[in-house]
Structure 1
Amino acid sequence: MNPHDVVITGIGLASSLGEGLEAHAQALAVGAAPHTDITSFAPYPVHPLKPLELDRQIPKKSDQRQMEPWQRLGVYAAGLALDEAGLKQDVEAKSVLQVIVAAGGGERDHAVDGAILTGLRGAGEPGAFLNERLMGDLRPTLFLAQLSNLLAGNIAIVHGVTGASRTFMGEEQAGVDAIRTAHARIAAGQAEVMLVGGAYNAERRDMLLLLELGGYLRKGEFAPVFAREDAPGLITGSAGAFLVLESAARAAARGAKVHARLSHVAAARSKRQPGTVEAALSGLLSGFGAIAPGALAISAATGAAGVTAEEASVIAALPQARRVATGDLVGHAVEAAFPVSVALAAAAISAGQAKEAIVTGAGHWRGEGAARLVKA
């Protein structure tokens, strides 16, 4: 391999399937039945996070308390990746380890929101009432907890990572560009080791409301991502995924196990007219070179109407590809959807399930991305 080839040496995954590389590789191999909850947020099904022993990756209760659920999930997944890469105790490596996080917005205090909305109905001066309650009921610490770049900060605090960090926002495309940027920096020799990923808490009424207002959510029973013609839409899932990316030279020098080589990552942003998603994804894949027959195709497709069918058409054009929808296994994790899919592809190659994998993902509203992984 070229010294600047980008390899994956650490995989941290946590979802409704459980945690760790082995659990997810096994689920991928056997096509595990999804774990969904159709009652807690009815009529919207979700893939709930399997309970985690947070103390294993976040030892201090005080650290756990000051994070929102999505941040705890992200810090936990990042810790799994560092452990798996053999870097958790390597102080020197963590001093140069750069972090890129794909993050969404902070979570709402539903009790406060409900009380304010209820009070507004009978308020004589709604504007004054709203200002007073917002100033009195929303704690400054709540605002701090909602800062998206605090996931990177908490990774630094809990795991002792002291290199530079970046946070990307922008729904699914944040996950695509986080992976793309980390790959590009290592390939260009601007960094030797990166920790990149994201996390999403699907068990949030505020996000379900926002997605439903856009007409994106599926109602009722679970259905596979590519079989939702009767009621197209997202089924979200709580999931976190982080990857340790290294230059091939650095990985070889420390004798690290390499799960896969990340050969290409690319992104696009079509205007979302009929046919543009298919054209965008096809264009991205055409830049990856010849794809081997029988390559594993892992799709981060959302299930949203129109775009999902176009993504399916692109995958169908791959030579004899085996297709797997990440959403069928763990649900759609929005910002974390693409990192989860790349992590699953790397897990499959590491477990010998494939020698090559293609990852695709078209966001529910904007943005397209693709990646190619091969056996190192």
Structure 2
Amino acid sequence: MSETASTAKQPVEAWITGIGLASSLAEGLDAHWQALAERRINVDDKNFAPCVVHPLAPISFDQQIPKKGDQRQMEAWQRIGTYAAGLALESAGLKGNKDVLSRMDMIVAAGGGERDLAVDAAVLNDQAKGNAGPAAINERLMNDLRPTLFLAQLSNLLAGNIAIVHGVTGSSRTFMGEEAAGVDAVRIALARIAAGQSDVALVGAAQNGERKDQLLLYEFGDYNLKDGYAPVWQRAPKGGFALGSGGAFLVIESRAHAEARGAKPFARLSKVVADLSHRKAPGDVTATLDKLWTSLGAPSGNTAIITGATGAEPVTAEERAFLQNHPGMPVRATGTMFGHIMESQFPLGIALAALSLSRGALFPANDPTGLETETTEQPNQIVVIGAGHWRGEGMALVEAIN
């Protein structure tokens, strides 16, 4: 085999060159870093009582979505995502760069859109009265729902709005599937760049957690954190997640592409792996996380862990068991500070990992149970963990660039 052929088969190095964050804590990187340093937490336990949510921090959407008409035709989660995507492009120095934006891949993880609360409430009331047969439900669907509601529920509208507002017009993919969709969005972006199929990609997700219909949906599974806030590791034995509002987007590009335009990287995205535990027997999730850890190359040294642990049980207890099998590595759970932002939780973890590595420090622990410990060590790699509240597990290895 020739040297050229051998070299061609080596994976392309992928750099994270842009980060866009908008959450319950703040918007922008400096403001987030300060909020994390101050161990700030923004929760609302009154407006959606008994459920707890992390509401979006005050944001002027005009800064990234200048046209009021564009803002009006978006739902809240689309505005949040479009705003965070603009921040990521700005962070990467690509805002308005038509040449790059015209060929930039876009990979979005998204949930469904709004629901009609009045119709939902009527259906539930009919069911309580025993009047919710198939014919009655079909009649409500035909007569009560607005035709525009179905358009509002298209999951790929976030990608469409980003294309319209920011001019990202390369290939576009939208994944659905809650937390696992966020893992796969980043995994596919990295795979395309590593294989030489893409030079630059915009990847991320957004969620509006301040939605009664969404809280109702998760209440059917008894997933919501209720009757008062508690940090993620303190919620057992019953557990539960506090939905959060926020968006996290990343610009990921090949090293050669970044160097050619003089971009400064935050960190290297080295590997992303995913799996789907059967979750039929106790310990299944722990075993799956152990397998993913090995797939990453069993990281060691100055390694930290950032996890999107939901707080829901039994998955959080099984993830905790995995973490306790790897002592000596400082852990940070994003759900404590940001709430659970579902599809965005994994991109958020990667964003915080890249930010931490670029600043040469891990943000402080925010956990009264003692699982998270303080450290003065400068991490050179951070493992990001995502274990869905119901399905799906993933890990990413993010490394410092010297």
User: How does the TM-score come out when normalised to structure 2?
Assistant: 0.88
- Give the letter aligned to residue 349 of structure 1: L
Give distance in 1, aligned partners of 2:191 and 2:324: 28
Q: Give the counterpart of 2:192 among 171, 176, 185.
A: 185
Q: Give the counterpart of 2:337 among 329, 334, 356.
A: 329
Aligned residues: 374
Residue in structure 2 matched with residue 195 of structure 1 by the alignment: 202
Give distance in 2, aligned partners of 1:228 and 1:119: 35
3-state SS of 1:335 partner? helix
Change (3 A) 1:105 1:73: same
Residue 111 (structure 1) shift: 3.1
Residue in structure 2 matched with residue 356 of structure 1 by the alignment: 381
Give distance in 2, aligned partners of 1:130 and 1:299: 41
8 Å CA contact retained: 1:294, 1:322: no
Residue 276 (structure 1) shift: 1.1
Change (3 A) 1:280 1:126: closer
Deviations 1:30-84 (A, max 9, x none): 2613111001111111111112101111111111111111111111110110011
Residue 199 (structure 1) shift: 0.6
User: How does the TM-score come out when normalised to structure 1?
Assistant: 0.94
Deviations 1:123-182 (A, max 9, x none): 999766654543344332221111001111111011111101000001110000001000
Deviations 1:281-317 (A, max 9, x none): 1111112225233422100011111211221222233
Residue in structure 2 matched with residue 83 of structure 1 by the alignment: 90
Q: Give the counterpart of 2:393 among 359, 368, 375.
A: 368
Deviations 1:233-279 (A, max 9, x none): 11111111000000011111111010000111000001002111111
8 Å CA contact retained: 1:236, 1:333: yes
Change (3 A) 1:267 1:91: same
3-state SS of 1:96 partner? coil
- Give the letter aligned to residue 252 of structure 1: E
Give distance in 2, aligned partners of 1:309 and 1:213: 21
Residue in structure 1 matched with residue 149 of structure 2 by the alignment: 142
3-state SS of 1:345 partner? helix
Residue in structure 1 matched with residue 50 of structure 2 by the alignment: 43
Percent identity, aligned pairs only, is 57
Bigger shift: residues 240-249 or 220-229: 220-229
Counterparts of residues 42-191 of structure 1 (less than 5 Å)? 42-114=49-121, 130-191=137-198
Give distance in 2, aligned partners of 1:232 and 1:122: 32
Residue in structure 2 matched with residue 211 of structure 1 by the alignment: 218
3-state SS of 1:167 partner? strand
- Give the letter aligned to residue 15 of structure 2: V
List structure 1 segments (4+ residues) > 4 angstroms apart after TM superposition: 115-133
Deviations 1:99-128 (A, max 9, x none): 000000111121343356557889999766
Q: Which runs of 5+ in 2 are unaligned?
A: 1-9, 362-378
Residue in structure 2 matched with residue 275 of structure 1 by the alignment: 283
Residue 341 (1) aligns with residue 349 (2): yes
Counterparts of residues 216-295 of structure 1 (less than 5 Å)? 216-272=223-279, 273-295=281-303
